[in-house]
Amino acid sequence: MKELKLETSVEVYAIEELDETYKRLYETAFEASKKAYAPYSNFHVGAAVLLENGEILSGNNQENAAYPSGLCAERTTLFYAGAHYPDTAVRVLAIAGMKDGERVDLITPCGACRQVMLETEQRYDKPMKVLLCGKEEAFLVPSATALLPFCFGKSDLIKPEEKE
């Protein structure tokens, strides 16, 4: 037997310590959460992305009475960015949540969103930082891969030239 140790470094900032770009993403994500359609969970999530071209886009969760038909803020935002800027990498994804009109202490993406985040990162072959926005602190994760160890990605699939 051997042991494998996985480690990730996460930078934790008080909100006032964030630089102007991260503060803007932080506030944009919270503003987006206020517009979420969340009549069932009352858990409003917003996301904002900073693209390599400097554009900032946002999105939020969209619930549906048939629960699997809804979509999380992270995926809404990343798919929007990919649809409108297909050749532009995402530098940072910020995620913020509100419950009963109050900012939550910390929010982390679900497994499906982590998988889409990984795909976005691999699509552009560049790390995508993730800013997890809390009430008083923000956690800066160096990449989507850091949130999904032992991930399944494009390298796990058989390449067309390898098929018989």
Cα(8)–Cα(22) distance, rounded to whole angstroms?
20
- Which residues sit opposite 98 in a β-bridge? 44, 103
* Torsion sign over Cα 66, 38, 103, 93: positive
Whether residue 128 contacts residue 88, with contact meaning beta carbons closer than 8 Å, is answered with: no
Residue 108, phi then psi, degrees to nearest 5: -125, 150
Q: Kindly give, in sequence order, each residue whose CB lies less than 8 Å from that of residue 103, ignoring residues fewer than 6 positions away.
A: 30, 96, 97, 133, 134, 135
74 given a catalytic annotation: yes
Considering the candidates 3, 74, 119, 164, report the single residue annotated as catalytic.
74
Active site residues: 74
